[in-house]
Structure 1
Amino acid sequence: MVKRYRLCFYGMVQGVGFRFTARHAANMCRLTGYVRNEYDGSVTCEVQGDDESIDRFVAIIRSGRFIDISDIDKKQLDVIPDERSFEVRF
């Protein structure tokens, strides 16, 4: 079952390749959505796919060499039916 979540990542998540790691992980897990840096130093992702793939996506990001996630806020959103890719937003 396809779901969509907004994930807000806190910790050492900017300036460490987080967005590009997220894009790579999303493509590996066949997820759609986006990732962007926030002004407060956090990173926001909206990610869409099945729960198992989303969990794998988060695990791949957590294993990033310089990424150190201290907390993740997770909120379920409405699915976007026509979304076809995962993008890095600047």
Structure 2
Amino acid sequence: MIRNRVIVSGQVQGVFFRDACRQVAQEHGVTGWVRNLADGTVEAVFEGPPAAVAQLLRWSHHGPESAVVDGVSQHEEEPEGFTAFEIYSTPW
């Protein structure tokens, strides 16, 4: 089990990025969460088997069809043991 946190930049809000991310995560058995940030980026945490998390990391570099991804930063973290993949509401 591994965990990666990503920040995705570009035209990634208002294009169903979060919902598509949730769907892809569920298809691959990845848990964690995704949310919009105030600066226009999307942040996500992926937990699961290394091959499944790698699929989500690859997907993050293009996102759904209507997204335009300019960049993805990622780093590994200690897994927390999530049991589902959630879309977090924006705090603003």
TM-score by length of 2: 0.88
Deviation at 1:63?
Answer: 5.2
Aligned to 1:20: 19
Change (3 A) 1:78 1:88: same
Q: Separation in 2 of the partners of 1:57 and 1:67? A: 15
Aligned to 1:70: 70
Q: Separation in 2 of the partners of 1:84 and 1:14? A: 25
TM-score by length of 1: 0.89
Q: Separation in 2 of the partners of 1:63 and 1:16? A: 9
Q: Separation in 2 of the partners of 1:63 and 1:33? A: 17
Among the aligned pairs, what percent are the same residue?
A: 25
Query: Number of paired residues?
Result: 88
Change (3 A) 1:71 1:89: same
Change (3 A) 1:15 1:72: same
* Structure 2: runs of 5 or more not aligned: none
RMSD: 1.3
Alignment of structure 1 residues 13-52 onto 2, 5 Å? 13-52=12-51
Change (3 A) 1:89 1:77: same
* Structure 1: runs of 5 or more not aligned: none
| AA aligned opposite 1:76 | E
Deviation at 1:53?
Answer: 1.0
Q: Separation in 2 of the partners of 1:34 and 1:63? A: 15
| AA aligned opposite 1:69 | V
